[in-house]
Structure 1
């Protein structure tokens, strides 16, 4: 793994799980990790319940926008974390792929999003430990 690993979070709409994963990794990893997120069929906006839930832990997603998944983003990443993107995620040999099975927060209120958020934070902290990066917070 390079001294500054690059991680891509992918889900279908890039409006919930992948946004939370990328935000936690950027927040906890700081400039020691390069972070990307994308979706195989991006939504128009980030899920408002996700924005609220992340705001509760001091991470502002209000200005974030869903991005389209590209082969270039996958190629540029050392680790690709899929969160329900199905077969739409391109596969490149030599990349490390992790599939995090998590409930989709689409259409759910903030109460339902909180446990998803907390599980994503737990997994991101574990990923940082695997990458040898000490969390900033």
Structure 2
């Protein structure tokens, strides 16, 4: 029997010491996952620890994402973050797949969601602003879901 969750209302029961570790995962760890890590630290650092990682890295964080996060949130991701492989972050309690559009990696966790976000890379600023707004909304919802 497959379990079907209403991800908007489901509240996972996590068993971890301290704050849960949340991994935001994308293939290249250069845009959506980096934005989610930055917003997780800023907006939900009191509830969970935020990490981002990928399966195949680019050599830098997307410059448009860096510029838009500075403009919209005052966060300089180039100063606070870097591209990481899944093997370089702590074992997560929660895994959030950003919307791989390819097969997502198998990453053991107590709870997982796929946010299914489109990659704004190569698009105009409005697409980045929309993606950032979607991630912000989802990070705040996850904060409430994981609040003890």
Counterpart in 2 of 1:48?
63
Aligned residues: 130
CA distance in 2, matches of 1:110, 1:32: 30
Counterpart in 2 of 1:27?
42
Unaligned ranges ≥5, structure 2 = 1-13
Counterpart in 1 of 2:86?
69
CA RMSD, 1 decimal = 1.9
CA positional deviation for 1:59:
1.6
TM value normalised by structure 2: 0.79
CA distance in 1, matches of 2:115, 2:53: 15
Computing the radius of gyration over CA atoms, which structure comes out larger, 1 or 2?
2
Q: Deviations over 1:2-26 (max 9, x none)?
A: 3411100000110110001111111
Unaligned ranges ≥5, structure 1 = none
Higher relative helix content: 1
CA distance in 1, matches of 2:99, 2:55: 10
Kept in 2, the 8 Å contact 1:52–1:110? The answer is no
CA distance in 2, matches of 1:26, 1:89: 23
